[in-house]
């Protein structure tokens, strides 16, 4: 499986994402600059964390107009797995690929530490390697991770099982319904504030994030066997 790590001006978790895929997952991966016009050669798209365009206006607001977003939209329509982490999640929200918006943390402070998540749906292409209700430890690092949406949207997220991860025991940023990660209705676009790419080896304090990437590869291989 071949992954693309999208790099925007201000991305700072792209190297972490690249390492997770190449060295821990053992799959092919390339950096792709934000002005790329095509992602056709890639099987999975990864939008890393950081401060795209310096977080001017608001997080992800400028990045969503980058040239590569047209190709990301196309990949989403084709059903390719797309993962946006932290700033990547914010960009997916701004682009309309996921519903809702991000607000400042309730504390108005940047938070950087491990947190516990509960797997709310293990029947997605991103979570099949987890057990339903499994508690995992993944680090967060954000100042605007307070997820919000209107009640109608929340009702749909709950009804469609689009809430994939919730914060467990504590809600570090004030997110609505303890939401830490959601998918689109089609099930191929996941946005999450915690950083699974920073939890792929016990030397990092946790390897719980590796299962997410393994789930993507498992889905992709099974889909290609069926279509072969």
Catalytic residue ranges: 86, 195, 197
d(CA 48, CA 78): 21
Residue 48 CB coordination number (10 Å): 28
What tokens appear for 186 in the block?
């089609």
Please report which helix (H) or strand (E) contains residue 227, including its range: helix 210-227
| Among 208, 205, 110, residue whose Cα is nearest residue 168 | 208
Alpha-carbon separation of residue 99 from 107, 126, 166, 183 (angstroms): 24, 18, 16, 9
Contact 68, 31 (CB under 8 A): no
The residues with which 6 forms a beta bridge, in sequence order, are 32
DSSP annotation of 131: P
d(CA 53, CA 63): 7
d(CA 41, CA 122): 28
For tokens 């099949």, the residue is 128
For tokens 């997952």, the residue is 25
């Amino acid at each position: 499986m071949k992954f693309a790590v999208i790099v925007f001006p201000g991305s700072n978790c792209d190297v972490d994402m690249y390492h997770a895929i190449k060295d821990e997952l053992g799959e092919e991966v390339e950096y792709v600059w934000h002005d790329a016009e095509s992602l056709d050669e890639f099987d999975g798209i990864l939008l890393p964390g950081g401060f795209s365009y310096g977080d001017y206006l608001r997080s992800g607001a400028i990045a969503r107009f980058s040239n590569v977003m047209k190709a990301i939209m196309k990949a989403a329509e084709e059903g390719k797995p797309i993962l946006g982490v932290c700033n990547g999640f914010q960009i997916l929200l701004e682009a309309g690929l996921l519903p809702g918006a991000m607000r400042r943390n309730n504390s108005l402070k940047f938070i950087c530490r491990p947190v516990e998540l509960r797997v709310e749906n293990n029947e997605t292409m991103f979570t099949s390697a987890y057990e339903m209700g499994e508690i995992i430890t993944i680090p967060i690092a954000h100042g605007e991770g307070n997820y919000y949406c209107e009640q109608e949207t929340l009702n749909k997220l709950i009804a469609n099982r689009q809430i994939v991860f919730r914060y467990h025991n504590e809600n570090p940023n004030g997110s609505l319904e303890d939401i830490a990660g959601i998918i689109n209705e089609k099930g191929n676009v996941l946005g999450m504030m915690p950083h699974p790419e920073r939890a792929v080896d016990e030397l990092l304090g946790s390897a719980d994030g590796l299962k997410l990437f393994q789930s993507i590869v498992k889905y992709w291989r099974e889909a290609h066997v069926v279509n072969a």
